[in-house]
């Protein structure tokens, strides 16, 4: 839109400048054909009125009083000798030589005097006074009208040049929008050069995101329906077995199984709500600087009690990275890192290590390493999808319902970061979560 605004402004200014240039060219060409060059500097005072005198003298150098009166629209009278002598004694009489070789005399004693009368030497030796002179109307109303007409024409042409490509681009966007509203979410606007180029790219980006969201929701619904069938089927089976139970112990066993399945359903619903509200939760709360060291130290102390046979350590980097801060919504950040740490503890054998480093692209990379079986390369992207488990070692029997890593990725992406998994130095999986780094200039002052 900024490009569109700049283009409109440039077109308006350009139309004004072009119209001025055209007007000057037209005026110059118009007067250049008939006007005497010596009289041009006198406009708009009297030059236009004296043009007929100059033309008549050019055609007939032996012009007489009657001839001059015939070509002039203002009075022409013979000048008395004593009157001319009085003007000459004043020293204000100026001779204006014409291109034809003749002369015109002007009284320059005042600007008003020069505007009112001109004196023309005739062939018989007398001098004729021409005047009172009239103002050149062409240089007022007519010139303004011509100027306005040229301005309107140039503005219309410039408008067509600017508006037609914009209109075509907007029509293409409208056509694509109608296709989207009709359910064709694969429709994309044609991106061409011009003012609507960036708008078309933004529109296509939005359409791609909508298509991806709908596909994810469709896949999520299919996965949810599959995940719900298993505990529901077990509950139905347990109810049938409960009716057939002959002893209190058998009935208690079936009731406990039903309770476990209901707990699993409750966890599934809670995780689904969390997964669907990640973006809204982050947007509702403002992001603030958070110390990586403080947050991870608190996390390690909290999760160590979950599994005592797995050592959880925190490695603090040297240098400025030790005091790095991330710009995050604290609650979401802690939830994501907690999920990663618990996932590593669930699949690690004896050791989990958390560490971090700053990257050159303005991010903080937090590493979560374990010494488990790791993640096979074909599964390293798929495990971040909802209800996906890479292999048997990462099945539900080892804990979780398959939404933990999907929630982590969504939280990180909402913050503008990214996450991936690869082989860890410990031999297992290394999850790398990249978060936006707080620039030193905006870090909080120590309290």
Token pair for 224: 């949810």
The CATH number that applies at residue 237 is: 1.10.287
Residue 394 pLDDT: 43
pLDDT at 179 over 80: yes
Q: How confident is the model at residue 24 (pLDDT cuts 50, 70, 90)?
A: low
Nearby residues of 194 by Cβ (< 8 Å), 6 or more positions away:
165, 166, 169
Judge whether residue 185 has pLDDT over 50: yes
Kindly state whether residues 272 and 304 are assigned to the same domain. no
**Domain span including residue 422:** 286-442
Using CA atoms, how far apart are residues 177 and 206, in angstroms rounded to an integer? Answer: 11
Write down the residue that tokens 């050592």 correspond to.
311
The pLDDT of residue 6 is 64
Q: Give residue 393's pLDDT.
A: 44
Q: DSSP states of 324-370 as a string? A: -EEEE-HHHHHHHHHHHHHHHHHH-SSEEEEEEEE-TTSEEEEEEEE
**β-strands 351-358, 311-315: how paired?**
parallel
DSSP for 50-93?
HHHHHHHHHH-TT--HHHHHHH-SS-EEEPPHHHHHHHHHTT-E
With a pLDDT cut of 70, the percent of the chain lying above it is: 76
Q: Which CATH number covers residue 363?
A: 3.30.565.10
| DSSP H or E run through 378 | none
Would residue 308 count as lying in a domain? yes
Residue 135 lies in a domain: no
Mark whether 337 and 437 lie in a shared domain.
Answer: yes
Lowest mean pLDDT among 23-37, 106-120, 318-332: 23-37
Location of structure tokens 């000057």: 24
User: Residue with structure tokens 């900024």?
Assistant: 2
Rounded CA separation 340/106 (Å): 99
402 lies in the same domain as 358 = yes
Residue 386 falls inside a structural domain: yes
> What is the average pLDDT value for the chain, to the nearest integer?
78
In a domain, 219, yes or no: yes
Torsions phi, psi for 370 (to 5 deg): -135, 170
pLDDT of 379 strictly over 60: yes
pLDDT band at 92 (very low <50, low <70, confident <90, very high): confident
Residues 291 and 232 in one domain: no
Give pLDDT, residue 110.
67
The pLDDT tens digits of the residues spanning 331-354 come to 889 989 999 999 999 899 999 999
Per-residue pLDDT at 33 exceeds 50: no
Task: Look at residue 282 and tell me whether its pLDDT is greater than 70.
Answer: no
Closest CA to 103 of 36, 49, 154: 36
What's the predicted TM-score (pTM) here? Answer: 0.51
DSSP one-letter string for 156-178: HHHHHHHHHHHHHHHHHHHHHHH
* Domain identity same for 343 and 369: yes
* pLDDT of the residue at 241: 84
Residue at 196 is within a domain: no
- Let me know the angle formed at the C-alpha of 423 by 421 and 424, rounded to the nearest 5 degrees: 100
Mean pLDDT of 377-397: 67
Q: Are residues 293 and 268 in the same domain?
A: no
- The model's confidence at residue 83, banded by pLDDT at 50, 70 and 90, is confident
Q: Which of 280, 302, 325 is the last residue of a domain?
A: 280
More confident of the two residues 426 and 275 = 426
Q: What is the mean pLDDT of residues 359-380?
A: 89
Which of 291, 309, 334, 302 has the alpha carbon at shortest distance from 437?
Answer: 291
* pLDDT score recorded for residue 431: 95
Q: Which one of 280, 307, 322 terminates a domain?
A: 280
The backbone region for 374, taken as left when phi is positive above 0, alpha when psi lies in -120 to 50, beta otherwise, is left
User: Among residues of the chain, what percentage have pLDDT more than 90?
Assistant: 17
Same domain, 262 and 347: no
User: Using omega within 30 degrees of 0 as the cis cutoff, is the peptide bond preceding 44 cis?
Assistant: yes
Lowest mean pLDDT among 72-86, 178-192, 276-290, 408-422: 276-290
Co-location of 333 and 236 in the same domain: no
- Residue 94: Cβ within 10 Å count: 12
Number of domains in the chain: 2
Residues 313, 267 share a domain: no
44 with 56: CB under 8 angstroms?
Answer: no
- Measured in residues, the chain has a length of 447
What pLDDT, in 10s, does the model give residues 189-202?
A: 888 877 778 888 88
Give 158's Cβ-side CA count (13 Å radius).
19
Angle at 74 between CA 59 and CA 144, to 5 degrees: 90
CB 136 within 8 A of CB 47: yes
231, 257, 280 - which closes a domain: 280
Are 335 and 226 part of one and the same domain? no
Q: Are 292 and 364 a contacting pair, CB within 8 Å?
A: yes
The band of 421, judged by pLDDT with boundaries at 50, 70 and 90, is very high
Instruction: Pull the structure tokens for residue 250.
Output: 């058998």
Residue 214's pLDDT band (cuts 50, 70, 90): confident
């Amino acid at each position: 839109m900024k490009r569109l605004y700049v283009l409109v402004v440039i077109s308006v200014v350009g139309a004004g400048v072009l119209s001025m240039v055209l007007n000057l060219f037209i005026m110059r060409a118009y007067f250049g054909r008939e006007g005497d060059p010596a009289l041009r500097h006198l406009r708009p005072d009297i030059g236009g009125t004296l043009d007929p005198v100059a033309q008549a003298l050019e055609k007939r150098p032996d012009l007489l009083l009657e001839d001059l009166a015939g070509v002039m629209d203002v009075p022409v009278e013979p000048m008395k000798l004593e009157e001319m002598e009085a003007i000459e004694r004043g020293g204000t009489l100026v001779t204006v030589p014409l291109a034809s070789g003749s002369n015109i005399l002007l009284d320059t004693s005042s600007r008003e005097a020069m505007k009112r009368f001109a004196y023309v030497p005739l062939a018989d030796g007398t001098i004729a006074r021409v005047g009172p002179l009239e103002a050149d109307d062409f240089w007022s109303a007519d010139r303004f009208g011509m100027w306005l007409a040229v301005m309107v024409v140039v503005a219309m042409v410039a408008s067509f040049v600017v508006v037609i490509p914009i209109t075509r681009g907007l029509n293409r966007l409208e056509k694509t929008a109608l296709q989207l509203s009709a359910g064709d979410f694969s429709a994309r606007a044609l991106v061409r050069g011009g003012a609507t180029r960036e708008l078309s790219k933004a529109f296509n980006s939005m359409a791609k995101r909508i298509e991806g969201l709908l596909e994810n929701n469709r896949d999520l619904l299919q996965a949810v329906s599959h995940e719900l069938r298993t505990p529901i089927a077990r509950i139905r089976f347990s109810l049938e077995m409960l009716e057939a139970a002959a002893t209190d112990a058998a009935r208690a066993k079936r009731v406990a199984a039903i309770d476990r399945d209901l707990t699993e359903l409750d966890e599934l619903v809670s995780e689904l709500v969390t997964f669907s509200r990640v973006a809204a939760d982050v947007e509702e709360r403002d992001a603030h600087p958070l110390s990586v060291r403080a947050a991870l130290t608190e996390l390690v102390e909290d999760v160590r009690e979950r599994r005592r046979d797995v050592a959880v350590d925190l490695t603090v980097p040297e240098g400025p990275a030790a005091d790095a801060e991330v710009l995050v919504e604290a609650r979401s950040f802690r939830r994501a890192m907690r999920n990663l740490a618990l996932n590593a503890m669930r699949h690690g054998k004896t050791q989990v290590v958390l560490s971090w480093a700053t990257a050159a692209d303005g991010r903080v990379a937090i590493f979560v390493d374990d010494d488990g079986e790791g993640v096979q390369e074909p599964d390293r992207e798929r495990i971040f999808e909802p209800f996906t488990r890479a292999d048997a070692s990462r099945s539900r029997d080892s804990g979780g319902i398959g939404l933990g890593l999907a929630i982590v990725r969504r939280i990180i992406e909402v913050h503008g970061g990214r996450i991936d998994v690869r082989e860890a130095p410990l031999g297992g999986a290394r999850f790398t979560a990249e978060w936006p780094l707080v620039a030193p200039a905006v870090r909080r002052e120590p309290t």
